[in-house]
């Protein structure tokens, strides 16, 4: 078997066979020099490797309307009550004689032309008269929120608007303004090399086959949303009433989509990227110690090897 160079000091090389005891000890010392800096960093930065090592990225999600909604308008006059229901769920409409809301309008605005909607407006027209004006308004609408910063996530998003009682509203435009805000109870986790684990979401916010309105209550929807590590909800900021000349009521929801803070969990390779400078600094020290140990072992013949001087072309 040919000889290989196990260690070199200036022009002197120490050679032995690959399966020799000297080669085994040299390999062990080299592994210690490589691994010991990582162990030192791990011990001194154990909090960074813990599960609580999270970081926050401000991101503007891409919000897409799913065209799934329920709108209830309650009214009464002279002890006569009436409920106007608009829904995208066929079974619910058939059971409660709901309207199909053909005049639902969705408008997306991209103010900075970056391809991401900055504002979404939902408008629904309801036919009302002086006799049957709106007393109470409730709206539930469902969206998808996509974020791409670390990896692709489809985050459940919902609007739940329950207005206080109005005073027989008709011939009015109801303008409800607000923005999407996050509710997060767990940090999002992206998959990485050799570990394909990622955050899991539950997208069944309601059972679409249900015909009971109780299943569409805010408490049930919120309970399903809170099963997710994060979801976006509509935070109302203001409500305005404007008079119109037509014999109808217009409900318009104006949704602002700002940059939202989202908490992520660092992967192992992200931690390595953060700490590699520390590793290099410690590795240079351990590499010096590694060379000193091998010099001592070979020069004092604790490890047997052929000593070759390339300048003098001597072997001894």
Structure tokens at 157: 């998003």
CA distance 59 to 146: 10
Q: Which helix (H) or strand (E) holds 215?
A: none
Task: Give me the sign of the Cα torsion angle 286, 287, 288, 293.
Answer: positive
pLDDT tens digits, one per residue of 8-18: 777 777 777 87
- Reply yes or no on whether the pLDDT at 1 is more than 60: no
- Reply yes or no on whether the pLDDT at 258 is more than 90: yes
**103 vs 221, residue with greater confidence:** 221
Instruction: Tell me which residue has tokens 């997208």.
Output: 203
pLDDT tens digits, one per residue of 224-244: 888 889 999 899 888 888 877
CA distance 206 to 184: 20
Three-state helix/strand/coil letters over 96-152: HCCECCCCCEEEEECCCCCCCCCEEEEEEEECCCCCCCECEEEEEEEEEEEECCCCC
- Reply yes or no on whether the pLDDT at 146 is more than 90: yes
- Residue 100: predicted pLDDT: 44
CA distance 221 to 224: 5
Top-ranked range on mean pLDDT: pick from 51-55, 119-123, 186-190, 297-301: 119-123
- Residue 245: predicted pLDDT: 75
User: Minimum mean pLDDT among 116-120, 171-175, 213-217: which range?
Assistant: 213-217
- Reply yes or no on whether the pLDDT at 112 is more than 60: yes
């Amino acid at each position: 078997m040919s000889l290989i160079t196990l260690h070199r000091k200036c022009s002197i090389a120490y050679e032995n066979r690959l399966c020799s005891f000297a080669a085994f000890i040299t390999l062990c010392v080299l592994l210690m020099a490589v691994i010991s800096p990582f162990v030192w960093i791990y011990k001194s930065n154990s909090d960074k490797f813990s599960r609580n090592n999270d970081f926050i990225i401000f991101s503007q999600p891409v919000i897409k309307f799913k065209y799934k909604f329920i709108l209830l308008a309650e009214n009464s006059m002279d002890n006569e009550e009436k409920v106007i229901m608009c829904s995208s769920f066929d079974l619910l409409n058939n059971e409660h004689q709901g309207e199909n809301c053909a005049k639902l309008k969705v408008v997306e605005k991209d103010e900075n032309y970056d391809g991401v909607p900055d504002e979404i407006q939902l408008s629904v027209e309801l036919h009302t008269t002086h006799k049957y004006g709106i007393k109470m308004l409730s709206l539930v609408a469902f969206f998808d929120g996509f974020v791409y910063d670390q990896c692709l996530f489809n985050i459940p998003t919902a609007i739940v608007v329950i207005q206080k009682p109005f005073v027989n509203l008709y011939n009015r435009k109801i303008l409800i303004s607000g923005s999407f805000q996050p509710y997060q109870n767990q940090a999002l986790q992206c998959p990485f090399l050799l570990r394909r684990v990622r955050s899991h979401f539950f997208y069944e916010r309601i059972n679409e086959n249900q015909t009971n309105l109780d299943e569409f209550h805010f408490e049930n929807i919120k309970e399903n949303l809170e099963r997710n590590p994060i979801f976006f909800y509509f935070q109302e900021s203001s409500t305005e009433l404007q008079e119109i000349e037509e014999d109808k009521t217009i409900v318009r929801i104006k949704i602002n989509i700002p940059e939202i803070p989202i908490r992520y969990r660092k992967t192992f390779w992200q931690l390595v990227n953060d700490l590699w400078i520390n590793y290099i600094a410690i590795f240079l020290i351990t590499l010096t110690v590694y060379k000193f140990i091998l010099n001592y072992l070979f020069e004092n013949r604790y490890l047997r090897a052929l000593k070759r001087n390339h300048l003098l072309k001597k072997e001894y």
